[in-house]
Amino acid sequence: MNGDNRFPYPAVRRKLLKWFKANARSYPWRTTSNWFHLLMAEMMLRRTRANQAARVYVQFTQQFETPADSAKVESTVLLKMFEPLGLAWRGRQLLQTLDFLSDSYAKRRPEPSDDLFAIPGVGDYSNAMLRNRLFNERLPALDSNMARLICRIEGWSYSAEARRKRQIIEVAHKLVQIKASRELNLAILDFSALVCKPVHPVCVGCPLASHCSYGRKRLNRISGHRVRGSPVNSARM
């Protein structure tokens, strides 16, 4: 399977960015220029719904501008604040993150040469999202949502492990090689949540339908009409 040459990069980028302009979700961390707030938002969003994280984020950022500010507060106070995020380990991990940040970044912000994986809680996804946002590096925020969208467009079968497959990683990297890579990452995040959902994607009226193998098959099946576009790709992975 090699879908890299078939993937309609320019059209998908253009249509996703256009869709995002009209439909972007509004979250407080999307407009901040404070690196500490942005990093904490990424940590809070791990396995937590955005609306749930938003309440904690607003409360946290209203009180703490820097890692040094949060270091002055008792850990019990912070744990209480993190409680709405759910799961006790989340709070403990956020405390580890804060400890590390107040030790390593008390007097400076992260630099591109820094290894963000050293920060407790930062994994592949948050590293890519943070480097994209903080340093404008063209990295894909490749999670299960982006992997699912790529699989559907390509006509590849999707599984929970898809985001680790080489072919999908290659497409994701190539997809975000544009100046507006940050907007594109966010567009894919929102598009996957609102349109190309895990269950019952909204293929009718989807701007990507004519480029999407899965969508064309689905629309042909449910409406009995053919959707314009290149022939349906039946490749499997």
202 binds ligand SF4 (CB under 6 A): yes
98 binds ligand SF4 (CB under 6 A): no
142 binds ligand SF4 (CB under 6 A): no
Alpha-carbon distance of 153 to 147, in angstroms, equals 10
147 binds ligand SF4 (CB under 6 A): no
Alpha-carbon distance of 203 to 47, in angstroms, equals 26
195 binds ligand SF4 (CB under 6 A): yes
208 binds ligand SF4 (CB under 6 A): yes
- The C-alpha angle with vertex 65 and arms to 180 and 39, in degrees rounded to 5, equals 40
Which of 13-21, 43-51, 94-102, 203-211 is the region at the interface with ligand SF4 (rule: CB under 6 A)?
Answer: 203-211
| Residue from 3, 163, 196, 233 binding ligand SF4 (CB under 6 A) | 196
What is 205-222 written as a DSSP string?
Answer: T-TTGGG-HHHHHHHHHH
Closer residue to ligand SF4 (CB): 44 or 208 = 208
* Residues 6 or more apart in contact with residue 62 via CB below 8 angstroms: none
| Residue from 133, 158, 215, 233 binding ligand SF4 (CB under 6 A) | 215
Closer residue to ligand SF4 (CB): 3 or 215 = 215
CA distances from 208 to 1, 86, 136, 226, 228 (A): 22, 35, 26, 15, 11
